[in-house]
């Protein structure tokens, strides 16, 4: 038997009473403070300030930050629960906790204690947001092909280049940025740095005009002799790419959780609609074709949710197959989200194609989960490599 699945103990995860209480608390907050603004956030492509304020006040904006830095110290499964519940009502708002984790995980995994003490407390209090700068226009899936450079000049690093498709850009205070420090060394020549929004030579470009997640600002980052203190390097020079890949093990399950939340929100809306809508003198929920479709969608959502939670638990425990499961969770859940939201629009019929109902927004938002943090084609490559290398 393949070792990925040989030990049934590795497949175990359990939601604690605290996890259930967390879900209930986040759902209540979302229904009261985030859901009422979701359509407006999308319509006007504006940052969801209401969501940021509510999540920060409740301590849900970055639950992964350890207690020693002023955070909640929650596990990976708890972070997934928060993101899932926020995404259920507003995917743009779910990028706040999701990108806070993405941007700060390299610091948690590899930074010096001094750098952690410098940046993580501001994230824990909500004073600062984080962002993550890996991709470039010509270095997306092929991140090693990045052109951004960093050179050591006395007691400072000087960065030159640009990053693309950066979530939280313009609203973040801290940016984890990857740059080549040893040209010609491939992945071993890439290092990670923490850039502050106020650092000289740093600039945020114009917002991208996007299909979905319109409330989450996505911009390019420009570095023109951007000068940062030498102690803001994350780990040793040349270890940045390894840190980036380790980060994805922790954050790809959160994208899976986001996808599950989108799917659940669309399913909930569609189920309520078909129980009310009548055609041919009957509620359309009474037609067997509709019932079978709902059953299939619910089944796939639950399968995706279980895989996401399992992946989060494996990563939390540091199990050897965590990379396979992290990619599986992100890939499967995002494919499910795309199918569920598309079918939800179909169940609404012509009404689903209008902005009077949330499912068209959810369908647009779902698409990005198949693309960012590694396209689903890349996820399949990662999974295949994990399978064949054992």
Q: Is 373 a catalytic residue?
A: yes
Q: Which of 85, 136, 220, 373 is catalytic?
A: 373
In degrees to the nearest 10, what's the CA dihedral of 83, 270, 336, 241? Answer: -30
Q: How far apart are CA 344 and CA 171, in angstroms?
A: 33
- Burial classification of residue 231, based on how many CB atoms lie within 10 Å of its CB (0-12 exposed, 13-18 middle, 19 or more buried): middle
CA dist 332 and 381 (Å) reads 14
Other C-beta atoms lying within 10 Å of the C-beta of residue 127? 10
Residues 6+ apart with CB under 8 A from 287: none
* Distance in angstroms (rounded) separating the CA atoms of residues 77 and 79: 5
**Closest by CA position to 219, among listed 231, 234, 209, 232:** 209
- Mention every residue, 6+ apart, whose C-beta is less than 8 A from residue 158: 150, 151, 152, 201, 225, 226, 227
Q: Are strands 174-180 and 130-133 parallel, antiparallel or unpaired?
A: parallel
Both structure tokens of 252: 């790809």
Question: Per-residue DSSP letters for 283-346?
Answer: EGGGSHHHHHHHHHHHHHHHHHHHHHHHHHHHHHHT-TTHHHHHHHHHHHHHHHHHHHHHHHHH
How many C-beta atoms lie closer than 10 Å to residue 380's C-beta?
14
Can you say how many angstroms the Cα of residue 32 is from the centroid of all Cα atoms in its chain?
23
Encoded tokens for 164? 């693309």
Which sequence positions are flagged as catalytic? 373
């Amino acid at each position: 038997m393949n070792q990925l699945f040989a030990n049934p103990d590795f497949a175990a995860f359990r939601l604690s009473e605290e996890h259930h209480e967390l879900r209930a608390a986040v759902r209540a907050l979302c229904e009261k403070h985030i859901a009422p603004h979701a359509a407006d956030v999308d319509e006007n492509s504006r940052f969801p300030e209401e969501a940021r304020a509510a999540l920060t006040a409740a301590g849900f904006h970055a639950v992964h930050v350890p207690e020693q830095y002023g955070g909640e110290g929650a596990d990976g499964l708890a972070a997934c629960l928060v993101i899932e519940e926020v995404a259920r009502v507003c995917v743009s708002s779910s990028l706040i906790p999701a990108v806070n984790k993405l941007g700060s995980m390299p610091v948690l995994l590899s930074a010096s204690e001094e750098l952690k003490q410098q940046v993580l407390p501001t994230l824990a209090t909500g004073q600062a947001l984080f962002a993550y700068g890996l991709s470039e226009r010509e270095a997306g899936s092929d991140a090693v092909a990045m052109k951004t450079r960093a050179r050591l000049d006395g007691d400072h690093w000087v960065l030159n280049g640009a990053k693309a498709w950066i979530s939280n850009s313009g609203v973040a205070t801290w940016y984890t940025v990857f740059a080549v420090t040893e040209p010609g060394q491939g992945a071993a020549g890439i290092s990670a740095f923490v850039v502050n929004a106020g650092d000289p030579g740093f600039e945020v470009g114009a917002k991208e005009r996007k299909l979905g997640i319109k409330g989450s600002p996505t911009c390019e980052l420009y570095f023109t002799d951007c000068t940062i203190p030498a102690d803001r390097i994350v780990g040793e020079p040349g270890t940045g790419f390894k840190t980036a890949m380790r980060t994805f093990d922790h954050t790809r399950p959160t994208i899976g959780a986001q996808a599950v939340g989108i799917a659940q929100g669309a399913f909930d809306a569609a189920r309520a609609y078909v129980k009310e809508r009548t055609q041919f003198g009957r509620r359309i929920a009474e037609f067997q074709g509709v019932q079978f479709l709902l059953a299939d969608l619910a089944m796939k959502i639950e399968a995706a949710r279980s895989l996401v939670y399992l992946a989060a638990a494996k990563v939390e425990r540091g199990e050897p197959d965590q990379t396979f499961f992290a990619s599986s969770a992100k890939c499967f859940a995002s494919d499910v989200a795309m199918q569920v939201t598309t079918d939800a629009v179909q169940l609404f019929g012509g009404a689903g194609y209008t902005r009077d109902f949330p499912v068209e927004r959810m369908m647009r938002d779902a698409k990005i989960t198949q693309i960012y943090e590694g396209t689903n084609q890349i996820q399949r490559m990662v999974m295949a490599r994990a399978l064949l290398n054992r």
